[in-house]
Structure 1
Amino acid sequence: MRRALHIITGLGVGGAERQLRALLRRLPLPCDVVTLTEPGQVATELAADGVRVAHLGMLGNRDMSALPRLARLIRRGRYDVVHTHLYRACVYGRVAARMAGVRAVVATEHSLGARRIEGRPLTPSTRALYLATERVGSATVAVSHTVARRLADWGVPPRRIHLVPNGIEPAHFRFDPGARAVARARLGLPDNALAVGGVGRLVAGKRFGALVRAVAALPDDVWLVLAGEGPERAALRALAARLGVGRRVVLAGAWPDVRGLLAALDVLVSPSREETFGLAVLEGLAAGLPVLHAACPAVDELPEGAAPGARRVASDPDAIAAALREERAWGARRLPVPEALERYGMERVAERLMDVYRGVCAR
């Protein structure tokens, strides 16, 4: 193998996008990246890393002119492996790779839920298109056992499914008091505030509204920081104002320094009822935070008791508020980082992915 091309739907700040950047730092072969849309912050960061990034300028889901343009780009690059990420990139990328004559085509399934994929409803037509293009590829990577089971239930042959979890670098998130002071000042958090955090796309499925309601039921020294962008931003701001906690709810946007953000927090909450992996939960644990989560396959797949800082809670406001009252009684604290997180170390993940590449290239 000489070179690989990664195709992704967009490169704004998101879990799959951040995961791609971290992965490329560890893969032991040169890689280029194509983004179909939105050459955002992560595109800039990849370019700073020395990765060549091309923007296809796709106009929408049905912009069929993107297919021959992408095939020409792949053909010119003479790539040994094409690796696609996220639904639109998987659909177009797998077909374009085969049009370009590349037979080693891998797709990572980051966000396949029971009823939604990447926040969009899983309609019969969405599922049919996904399965039709999956057959054009060589292998599909599932980021958790949960996703692997869903793919098999859909009818993807088990021999084509490879489990390669998302990766983290726990040392990167190690708590830094200096970073905490800087981030809390930037966020406008009072010195005595217990900072509760939620990290992710501001979409209905993340259930951040339940977190706003939970914080509204708590004393004034409990503040909420929501880091992320999305269509629910205005609704969350309006909900906080209606509940009289607008001052205590900080909508931080796409915060670029995740390590600093986690250092600023005292508790991380993931109220989503359905997750395909739960990367934010792992990052919170790596930062030494107590973490409350409604669903997290990454924690579920660790040995029992291996992540004592993670506690499962129901995703309704009352249950979250009750758990946060207990955390408030403890006060701001840092917990030992679970050694089990090394299971998801990025070096291990990159090596497992290289095994997939070697397998599809040998066929």
Structure 2
Amino acid sequence: MRALHVITGLGVGGAEQQLRLLVRHLPVRCDVVTLTNPGAVAEGLRADGVRVLHLGMRSNRDLAAVPRLARLIRRGSYDLVHTHLYRACVYGRIAARLAGTPVVSTEHSLGHAEIEGRPLTRGTQELYLRTERLGAATVAVSETVAGRLRAWGVPAARIHTVPNGVDMAAFRFDAGGRRATRARLGIPEDAFVAGGVGRLVPGKRFDVALRAVAALPDAWLVLAGDGPEAGPLRALAARLGVTARVRFLGECGTGATAPGVPAVLGAMDTFVSASREESFGLAAVEALASGLPVVHAACPAIEDLAARVPGAIRIGSGSAAGDPTDELTAALRRLRAGGTRRLPPPSALDHYDIRLSSRRLMDVYAHATAPVTPTERAHP
């Protein structure tokens, strides 16, 4: 089987990194097309030996991108097109239908009021639903997202839940690496360090983590990621008087001075995710795989598991109405008082092993490429 993955952009982000990891583990020959921004993840995919093409889409309304993509799909003789992120799903479904190729779409970042960190409008929802009908299947990265899709009106039979996957071995704790990363970042070896990983956007509420650490003398904070809130967060750290105890690392693993996510997690004593809402919560799963306690607000990856997850501490409601700063401060104070120690990765995380996710996705691919029955042909 030959599959073409179509994604909106390939800058550093959860969906983009997940695509790279997935392509490594799928038993399928894969090429990747990015509509815009062939960034750091494109470089990583090429280093993995994956063919990456840039469609050169100029704007959200660059309709000429549709026939260009359709021609590319035809020339490649792909058996399947797999789209990721809103813009790629809308344009990719249309192009794949024009090319006569079945298409599967993964919904990575659907919230109650936002999609991919942007306000969710009626027009956005309507365009999504109209083009969703052109696909063979829609993949939800969590049961939470599957429920949101059903609430939108996507038929349950079209929704397949395939959770994001994690390469657990890549996050195994390394004491020597911890000391080296702390030295590299200028953090004392015996300091209590909280941290977060993700796009610096308002919905992630990294300001809550800053305020909590500011209330704990001698505690440190490490934030890995970039985005529009980088400037305001630095300004807030200065106002709170904690600049010397905070490390803003930018995008992990994309420069000579930026350590990768496993190394950053290894340098922490606890992980914080105060997000208002999430579609999955991949960074929290990676932190648990690294043996960290995780203090979280909204996190479907943890909440959707049937079993209790040791080391996961729930705060707040995850809603816009509640400010979990006080709860987070209290939780960090308790963890600091209890002493720092690494936890065994919870067995429940086996549900998110990348090899299992790839097998689940192959089942969806088989469903999408199965011969169409006369009834289905008559009633698309």
Aligned to 2:363: 355
Aligned to 1:126: 124
Residues 57-96 of structure 1: CA deviation (Å, up to 9, x unaligned): 1112111221111111111111010000001110111111
Alpha-carbon distance in structure 2 between the residues aligned to 1:14 and 1:350: 20
Alpha-carbon distance in structure 2 between the residues aligned to 1:249 and 1:93: 41
SS in 2 for 1:343: helix
| CA-CA distance at 1:184 after TM superposition | 1.4
Give structure 2 stretches of 5+ with no counterpart. 254-259, 317-322, 373-380
Residues 156-196 of structure 1: CA deviation (Å, up to 9, x unaligned): 11111001111112111000112212221222212222111
Instruction: Name which of 224, 227, 230 aligns with 1:230.
Output: 227
- Contact conserved, 2:211 with 2:325, CA < 8 A, in 1? yes
TM-score, scaled to structure 2: 0.93
TM-score, scaled to structure 1: 0.97
Alpha-carbon distance in structure 2 between the residues aligned to 1:345 and 1:329: 33
Residues 185-223 of structure 1: CA deviation (Å, up to 9, x unaligned): 22221222211111110000000011111111111x211
Question: Between Structure 1 and Structure 2, how many residues are aligned?
Answer: 359
Alpha-carbon distance in structure 1 between the residues aligned to 2:324 and 2:306: 27
Instruction: Name which of 297, 301, 305 aligns with 1:302.
Output: 305
* Moved segments of 4+, more than 3 Å: none
Please list, as runs of the form range in 1=range in 2, the aligned pairs for 1:152-171 lying within 5 A after superposition. Answer: 152-171=150-169
Instruction: Name which of 275, 285, 292 aligns with 2:295.
Output: 292
Aligned to 1:173: 171
- Contact conserved, 2:295 with 2:315, CA < 8 A, in 1? yes
Q: State the one-letter code of the partner of 2:355.
A: E
Instruction: Name which of 325, 333, 337 aligns with 1:329.
Output: 337
Alpha-carbon distance in structure 2 between the residues aligned to 1:111 and 1:173: 23
Aligned to 1:151: 149
Residues 83-140 of structure 1: CA deviation (Å, up to 9, x unaligned): 00001110111111111121x1000000000000000111000101111111111110
Residues 279-328 of structure 1: CA deviation (Å, up to 9, x unaligned): 111100000001100011111122332x1111101252111111110111
Aligned to 1:89: 88
Alpha-carbon distance in structure 2 between the residues aligned to 1:238 and 1:255: 21
Aligned to 1:205: 203
Percent of pairs with identical residues: 65
- Contact conserved, 2:144 with 2:304, CA < 8 A, in 1? no
Alpha-carbon distance in structure 2 between the residues aligned to 1:38 and 1:169: 26
Alpha-carbon distance in structure 2 between the residues aligned to 1:12 and 1:193: 32
Aligned to 2:280: 277
| CA-CA distance at 1:340 after TM superposition | 1.4
Please list, as runs of the form range in 1=range in 2, the aligned pairs for 1:137-148 lying within 5 A after superposition. Answer: 137-148=135-146
Alpha-carbon distance in structure 2 between the residues aligned to 1:309 and 1:169: 19
| CA-CA distance at 1:51 after TM superposition | 0.5
Alpha-carbon distance in structure 1 between the residues aligned to 2:162 and 2:189: 41
